Amino acid sequence: MTLDLTALGWDADWATHLRRRPGHRPGRVARVDRGVCTVLGPQGPVRASLGGAVLAAAARDLTALPCAGDWVLLATWPDGPVTVEAVLPRRTALVRRTAGKDAGGQVLAANLDVAAVVEPVHPEPDAARIERLLSLAHESGAEPLVVLTKTDLAADPAAVARQLADLAPGVAVLPVSAERGDGVAALRRHVAPGRTLGLLGPSGAGKSSLVNALAGAEVMRTQEIRRADGKGRHTTTWRSLVPLPGGGVVLDTPGVRAVGLLDGVAGLDRTFADIAALATGCRYADCGHDGEPACAVRAALDDGELPARRWESWRKLQRELAFESRRREVRLAADRRGGWRRGRRPTARP
């Protein structure tokens, strides 16, 4: 089996890193299982463990660990093992906050050209979830897209798309039915040769079905919708990069129950561009929109121009980002104190 790396996104800029590391070969990470990577290379997929330099970088920052979508450099040792010796700098990255007290991040996918927020129209789209995931998509650096799935279960999918377009200023909203094939060709245009489409959404949203529809074959396992509540079952538990016929790749992420924002001020501003635009009309540049005179945002709330639900969603995400910023500051201060203590020399006794 041979693979054309240019169809997976390899280009002249990536090749400059390879020229600095003679004796290595490139590949793209398709999935990671317990620290072992499945890497797509010119001769097909190989399994590779993590080399010392990668482990050392991860000890300082867990986001340095390879993830699906990363371009890496591989080495093959005389006794046969293959190791990942370098993770090439990411052009884009979907990063969510990790659970726990470390105030760190987890890279869900790397080097996406398009980050698609996948949301089912049945039984009902979750507006707050779309806004949260869109903030993550905007912050990644990739082109955001909203894909509405299971439209065969909706009476008027076009009307639903028009309604949800207000949640995504400047972002295309694409209704798709993998069951009937509606909208699949339009989605396929976002995955030209050399480009990568990432799918981000909850369990049961139909991401695996989208991958199968784009690939023209069943490459991802899917399960039937539960009859009791109309929701899909959780299927994908790992991130997987799937090459498509004709070039391009799609990356299916696991269903996310909750996505915490880590550092998404710019992404939040773009997701809520309507509120950001209203804020420019406030009398005071530092207006908190909480009782200040001549507040354009409060005026828009009062006259119904700005829906209260959207305003509360924006406030919730703003509070979350402020909290995460404080957590990072505390962690960095603790790290600096720890480094200072480790660097002190013991005082000699008289």
Cα separation, 272 vs 141, in Å, equals: 16
pLDDT above 70 as % of the chain = 82
Which of 114-128, 176-190, 222-236, 276-290 is least confident? Answer: 222-236
**What confidence score (pLDDT) does residue 24 get?**
93
- How high is the pLDDT of residue 34? 85
Q: With 90 as the cut, is the pLDDT of residue 339 above it?
A: no
Residue 235 neighbours by CB under 8 Å, 6+ apart: 203, 204, 208, 220, 221, 222, 223, 255
Number of H helices, E strands in the chain: 10, 13
pLDDT at 297: 93
Q: Is-contact 187 216, C-beta < 8 A?
A: no
Q: CA–CA separation, 99 vs 343, rounded Å?
A: 30
For 99-110, how does the pLDDT look when each residue is reduced to its tens digit (9 = 90+)? 555 556 789 899
Confidence band, pLDDT 50/70/90 cuts, at residue 232: very low
Domain with CATH 3.40.50.300 in the chain: 94-252
Which of 94 and 221 is assigned the larger pLDDT?
94
What separation in angstroms does the CA of 257 have from each of 205, 253, 267? 11, 12, 20
Q: Give pLDDT, residue 151.
A: 93
Query: In the predicted model, is pLDDT for residue 236 greater than 90?
Result: no
- pLDDT tens digits for 253-298? 876 555 556 555 788 888 999 999 999 999 998 898 988 899 999 9
Listed in order, the ranges of the chain carrying CATH 2.40.50.140 are 5-89
| pLDDT at residue number 102 | 54
Give 116's pLDDT tier (boundaries 50, 70, 90): very high
Does residue 350 register a pLDDT over 50?
A: no
Residues of the chain with CATH 1.10.40.50: 272-333
Does the structure show a pLDDT above 90 at 309? yes
Tens digit of each residue's pLDDT (9 = 90 or more) over 174-215: 999 998 999 999 999 999 999 999 999 988 888 989 999 998
Its CATH class, for the domain covering 5-89, is mainly beta
Average pLDDT taken over every residue of the chain: 84
The pLDDT score that the predictor gives to residue 237 is 39
The neighbour count for residue 3, using CB atoms within 10 Å, is 17
Q: Which residues contact 57 (CB under 8 A, 6 or more apart)?
A: 64, 87
CATH fold label, 272-333? Ribonucleotide Reductase Protein R1; domain 1 (1.10.40)
For residues 21-46, average pLDDT: 92
pLDDT at position 124 is 86
Structure confidence by residue, pLDDT tens digits, 147-170: 999 999 888 888 899 888 888 989
Q: For domain 94-252, which architecture applies?
A: 3-Layer(aba) Sandwich (3.40)
Q: Is the pLDDT of residue 348 over 50?
A: no
pLDDT score for 25: 93
> Which one, of 5, 63, 2, 7, lies nearest residue 191 by Cα?
7
